[in-house]
Each structure stands twice: as C-alpha cells, then as structure tokens.
Amino acid sequence: MIYSLTNPLFQKAKSVMKQIESHNYEAYFVGGCVRDTLLNLPIHDIDIATSARPDEVEMIFANTIDLGKQHGTVIVVWQKETYEITTFRTEDSYSDFRHPDNVQFVRNLQEDTLRRDFTINALAFDMNGRLYDYHGGKLDLDAKIIRAVGNPMERFYEDALRIFRAIRFASQLGFTVDGETFRSMKALAKNLNQVSMERIRIEMTKFLQGKYFNDSYQLLIDANIYRYLPMMNVANIQEVLDQLAKKYYAMHQHDYEFSESMSWAIFLMELPFNSVTDKRHFLKVWTHSNQTIKDIKNIVELIPLFKANQIDLETVYHYQNEILLEVEQYMQSQAIIQKPSIEVMFNSLPIKQRTDIVVNGADIMKMLGLTKGKPIVGELIAEIERNIILQQLDNTQEAIEAFVSSYLKDSVK
C-alpha cells in the first residue's frame, strides 16, 4: 500500500533519505511518525532507520551529533532540522534496564522491527510512502489494539519500561491492550521497580496528559503497575485516580492542552500527602527538575487562591504570568470560575517587575543619606513596590521621595 506523505516534515526529511540512498544504503521512516500519519494525527518528529552503520552515517553528513553511537543512533543536522537516525539493529536483554546489553547491527528492516515494542510502532514507510508492515501493525491500528511484537513475556522481560509504554499509548490513542499482552504486563509489572525513574517519568507524563486517560487509567491498577511506582502504593489509589480522571476529562473537554507541570500538580493534589515535605519528596523521587518543581508548587498554591476568590493585583504581580493564565484556564475547565480576568489585571499593573520602579536601591540609599546598604533599604523597596502595585503610590520620583520621608517619620514615631 502506498500513502502520500504530504506532511511538510516528511517532505523535508526526504532529502535526508535521498542522501543516504545515494550512498547505496536503505532508509525508512519509522516509529511514531508512521503510526500517527496512519491515524491522521499530527506528527512532531521524524525518526529514520537505516542500513548504514553509525560511522557510515557520519561520513555521509557533515553535521552530526553522537547520541549513543554504540546503540546505533546519530543525530543529523540537515537544513536546520535535526533527525534521529538509527541503524537497523537487534538487541538482547537490558540488564541495566536502560540500554540493551548487546546491540547487533543488521542490514535489513525486517530484523530491526523485531526489537520494537508494539506492532503499531513497528511500521515503516519508505521515501515514496510504501508501507512496510511485518507484524500486522496496520490491522492493530484499525482495531485500536496495542499488542507486543513477538512474545510479550519475553519483550517485557527484556525491558519493563514497555509495560508502562503500553498504558501510555492506551492513554494517548484511546486503544485497548490485547489480552495476552495485558497478562504479561501484569505478570512482569514488578520489574518496573528496576527501570530508571527518568524513563518512567517521561512515559508517566505522557500517560497523564493523554486525551484518553479516562478510558485507560484503570490499567494502572488492573495490571498492578501502581504498586511498583514510587509513593503511589497508597490505600485509596482507586479513588485518587477516579477523581483525577474527572478533572483531566473536563480539561480535555475544554480542548485545553495542559503543561507537564499542570498535569503533575493536579495529580499531586489528589494524592494523600499533607505536608509540603512529602509533596516535595514525591516530586524529587519522580526526578522532576527544580524548575518543574517550582512551577508545580506555584500551581498548587494558586489553585486554592482562585477557589477562595483571593487573586488580587499583588498575586498577579508575584506569580509568573504564564502559570497564572494556565491555572485560570484550569479553573474555567472545572467550572470554578466563569470569566477570565488575569490578563486584564496583569495589563492594569503599573509595574510588571521590580526593575520597572523608577528608583533603585542606590537612589533609596541617597534619599536616606546612607553610604552603606542596610536592611531598611530592602524593606523600603518592598513597601514601595507593594504600594505601586496596589495603585496607592505613583511610580514617579517625587511621589516615591514623599513616600520615603513619610515612611521615615512613621518609623521614628
């Protein structure tokens, strides 16, 4: 079957393929871009599989980045785009649960597809849009089934992350998991506790954000997966996930594509952790970056403020605008607030940041006749800032000078 690869990403990538083919190697589009094209979904990146060895790929292209050459992957920078180009390979078990122990490069596509996780991910297109389907992936796509390539017990034993990937694809695509594949997932779920947390977290985020979370979250419980995830083996897990699914569902109904931080913040709020220390520990164990943890913390702080109708100009000033807008969107999706007001409030702020104040620390020191910094300088700036935000003080030199002298008089009294 021939498909027309009209997506501009394919069009651009074709010239990469032509380069490879002109050196007498084979090259195919593989993985998510093939699956998503057949499902009429948008594609976000292009993966290429080739018969050329990594060294050979490096010889063909002037600009390459080594991304684990020993495992077969080279990044090629071509016409300002990057492409992940992976040599056809087979692999054995993952004793470090991260990389296969032994990668053997092979020269044909069919052998390469044997190492791929699911039939729907083992499809390939050549440059002209001819589909290569050695494992019935197209039938499974049509029937909306996630099925392991080959023997599922063996495949999940090799790499337990695939167990989690199965539920991630179920949540993203709204597919069901084939019976034998499901039974093997359940039998080997315990091996998940040996997989690196980063790899699980990446899949977990996609699982949480999936459009069909509502139809697939039960798999987390039914396949016993939650038991082997850190800090998720809680007594009321069913209730936690039921509530969470309702919230995400409403968010999807509003066509709102929420960020990674938002999905984890909502999740965290459902879990039975009361102390800030426990919440922080949870996010740390799940290997979130400090920036993500900060964003999640802000979201968790803002939600009750929105609920209590306590968002004022000071809040709008102190929290990052992007996060405020996202929480506002969340509140609307949950029918907790009706009308958006953050943008109007933000636009009405006389200053957006401290450096917008017409005076700085040195000016204040001059006004106070100080030659050395003292705590009072910081206190005064914070007071000036607060009064300007609340529109009780004009952001002008004269007004601020008057404010400073009356502040001094008051503090002397």
- Is 47 among the residues that bind ligand ATP (CB under 6 A)? yes
The 10 Å Cβ neighbour count of residue 216 is 25
Give backbone dihedrals phi and psi of 181, rounded to 5 degrees, phi first: -60, -45
Q: Cβ(368)–Cβ(361) under 8 Å?
A: no
Which of these segments, 26-34, 168-176, 257-265, 383-391, binds Mg ion (CB under 5 A)?
26-34
Q: Cβ(84)–Cβ(33) under 8 Å?
A: no
Nearest residue to Mg ion on Cβ basis: 32
Q: Which of 46, 124, 160, 161 binds ligand ATP (CB under 6 A)?
A: 161
Which of these segments, 20-28, 117-125, 295-303, 385-393, binds ligand ATP (CB under 6 A)?
117-125
Nearer to ligand ATP, 64 or 172 (CB): 172
Contacts of 177 (CB under 8 A, 6+ apart): 145, 146, 147, 166, 167, 170, 185, 219
- Is 326 among the residues that bind ligand ATP (CB under 6 A)? no
Q: Cβ(173)–Cβ(212) under 8 Å?
A: yes
- Is 32 among the residues that bind Mg ion (CB under 5 A)? yes
To ligand ATP, the closest distance from the beta carbon of 31 in angstroms equals 3
How are the residues of the chain apportioned to helix, strand and coil, as percentages rounded to the nearest 5? 55, 10, 35
Distance in angstroms (rounded) separating the CA atoms of residues 119 and 146? 7
- Is 116 among the residues that bind ligand ATP (CB under 6 A)? yes
- Is 172 among the residues that bind Mg ion (CB under 5 A)? no
- Is 31 among the residues that bind ligand ATP (CB under 6 A)? yes
- Is 240 among the residues that bind ligand ATP (CB under 6 A)? no
- Among 216, 135, 125, residue whose Cα is nearest residue 170: 216
Q: Cβ(204)–Cβ(225) under 8 Å?
A: no
To ligand ATP, the closest distance from the beta carbon of 121 in angstroms equals 3
To Mg ion, the closest distance from the beta carbon of 177 in angstroms equals 20
User: Rounded to the nearest 10 degrees, how much is the dihedral formed by the CA atoms of 17, 22, 24, 25?
Assistant: -10
- Is 121 among the residues that bind ligand ATP (CB under 6 A)? yes
Fill in the amino acid letter for 185.
M
Distance in angstroms (rounded) separating the CA atoms of residues 364 and 360? 6
Q: Which of 112, 159, 260, 326 binds ligand ATP (CB under 6 A)?
A: 159
**Burial of residue 192, with CB atoms counted within 10 A of its CB: 0-12 exposed, 13-18 middle, 19 or more buried:** buried
Nearer to ligand ATP, 121 or 171 (CB): 121
- Is 173 among the residues that bind Mg ion (CB under 5 A)? no
Q: State the number of binding residues for ligand ATP (CB under 6 A).
A: 10
To Mg ion, the closest distance from the beta carbon of 105 in angstroms equals 21
Which of these segments, 115-123, 259-267, 358-366, 382-390, binds ligand ATP (CB under 6 A)?
115-123
Strand pairing report for 131-133 and 123-125: antiparallel
Q: Which does 117 bind (CB under 5 to 8 A by kind): ligand ATP, Mg ion, none?
A: ligand ATP
Which of these segments, 30-38, 72-80, 168-176, 180-188, binds Mg ion (CB under 5 A)?
30-38
Q: Which does 178 bind (CB under 5 to 8 A by kind): ligand ATP, Mg ion, none?
A: none
Is the four-CA dihedral 115, 116, 120, 125 of positive or negative sign? negative
Q: Which residues bind Mg ion (CB under 5 A)?
A: 32
Q: Which residues bind ligand ATP (CB under 6 A)?
A: 31-32, 47, 116-117, 121-122, 159, 161-162
